[in-house]
Amino acid sequence: MNATARRGSGWTPWLYLAPALVVLAGLLVYPLYQLGLISFLEYTQAQVSGGEPTTFKGLGNYATLFGDPQFWQVLLATVVFAAACVLATLSLGCALAVLLTRIRAVPRLALMMAALGAWATPAITGSTVWVFLFDPDFGPVNKLLGLGDHSWTYGRYSAFALVLLEVVWCSFPFVMVTVYAGIRAIPAEVLEAASLDGASRWRIWRSVMAPMLRPILVVVTIQSVIWDFKIFTQIYVMTNGGGIAGQNLVLNVYAYQKAFASSQYSLGSAIGVVMLLILLSVTLVHLRLLRRQGEEL
């Protein structure tokens, strides 16, 4: 009697959750399922439009992918580039957030507006403007720095650096605004006590603010990792779809080139699955580490 009642009450929440779960399954699980399924098939334009039958390839697409030295090179470039972007975005965002709490209303407003402007600019517009600024023939940056007709997109690292600047420019506002809101929520007495004890600004950030902001920093970091790992528009626009001889390819652009430019949908799906697994494991490991340290999100 008692057991039945308990089981009944155990199922009730699911009944209420069902509508939401159905929507979630339709929007998330089904596309993921299709992605996974296609990655096991031979599925190119010929199969889509019925020129050839769709066949099961097993792990064939993954074998092709992992056997391609370019994939490993692109993967490495993506990881390093994303890490650099996340680091640069977070440090700039946090530094400016701290700065925001220390300046008067007018400069604060100006900084806020500038940041929001960068944030609101669509990635494709930002990238196009950025490329124009650094154009070897017409760009004002070269004129200002007296670099003549130096081409920023010719060298691999200078092209990546250029894209990094744009990515940081358009994604630091999110970090700044979020962290600024977090800092505002820290009781003033705590900070006052720290400065009365003679702590330097760096020390206050490291020992007082950062620990108290931890949940916010975690969310911001994971967000940035996911965004920067999946970077597409900036690379695609600024390096003309992957740079000279594909030197600036990152995974997402590589997947696009495979899936849509050359219609190998199944190979593109396999890259998508690999990306998904990497991001999922990065996020899980990160959450796991935090939990060990006794923090709850």
Partner 1 sequence: MKLSARIAVPTAGFVLAGLAGLTATGCAPQTSDNSAKKDEKSGTLRVWLFREVSNEPKQKVVDRAVDAFRARHQDADVEIEYIPVETRAQKIKAAFNDPKSAPDLIEYGNTDTAGYVKDGGLADVTADFEAWAEAKDTDPAAKQSVTVGGKVYGAPLFVGVRALYYRTDVFKDLGLRPPTSQAELVTTAKKIRKAKPAMYGLAVGGAYTYGALPFIWANGGELAEESGGTYTSAIASPAAQKGIKAYTSLFGPDNCPAAKCAEMGGNDTVTAFASGRAGMAIGGDFSHAAVEAGKVKGKYAVVPLPGVRAGEIAPAFAGGNNIGVLKSSSHRTLAVGLMKQLTGKKTQEELFDAMGFLPTYTDVRETAAKKQPFVEPFIKTLAAGAKAAPASPGWAQIDSSLVLPTMFQEVVSGRKDVAAASGDAAKKMNDAFGAAR
Q: Which residues bind partner 1 (CB under 8 A)?
A: 14, 21, 25, 29-30, 33-34, 37-38, 41, 43, 45-54, 136-137, 149-151, 153-154, 240-241, 244-246, 257-258, 261-264, 291
Q: How far is the CB of 109 from partner 1 (least distance, A)?
A: 41
Q: Which helix (H) or strand (E) holds 56?
A: strand 55-56
Q: How far is the CB of 13 from partner 1 (least distance, A)?
A: 10
Q: How far is the CB of 262 from partner 1 (least distance, A)?
A: 5
Q: Which CB atom, from 107 or from 154, has the smaller least distance to partner 1? A: 154
Instruction: Give the residue among 203, 221, 211, 220 at the shortest CA–CA distance from 186.
Output: 211
Instruction: Give the residue among 152, 163, 155 at the shortest CA–CA distance from 81.
Output: 163
Sign for the CA dihedral angle at 280, 283, 287, 290 comes to positive
Q: Which CB atom, from 39 or from 89, has the smaller least distance to partner 1? A: 39
Q: How far is the CB of 122 from partner 1 (least distance, A)?
A: 19
Q: Which CB atom, from 121 or from 263, has the smaller least distance to partner 1? A: 263
Q: How far is the CB of 219 from partner 1 (least distance, A)?
A: 18
Q: How far is the CB of 251 from partner 1 (least distance, A)?
A: 16
Q: Using CA atoms, how far apart are residues 223 and 290, in angstroms rounded to an integer?
A: 16
Q: Which CB atom, from 37 or from 110, has the smaller least distance to partner 1? A: 37
Q: Using CA atoms, how far apart are residues 226 and 236, in angstroms rounded to an integer?
A: 18
Please spell the DSSP secondary structure of 262-285, one letter per residue: S--HHHHHHHHHHHHHHHHHHHHH
Amino acid occupying residue 196: L
Q: Which CB atom, from 75 or from 90, has the smaller least distance to partner 1? A: 75
CA geometry: angle 197, 199, 201, nearest 5 deg: 145
Contacts of 157 (CB under 8 A, 6+ apart): none
DSSP summary character for residue 42 = E
Q: Which CB atom, from 108 or from 150, has the smaller least distance to partner 1? A: 150
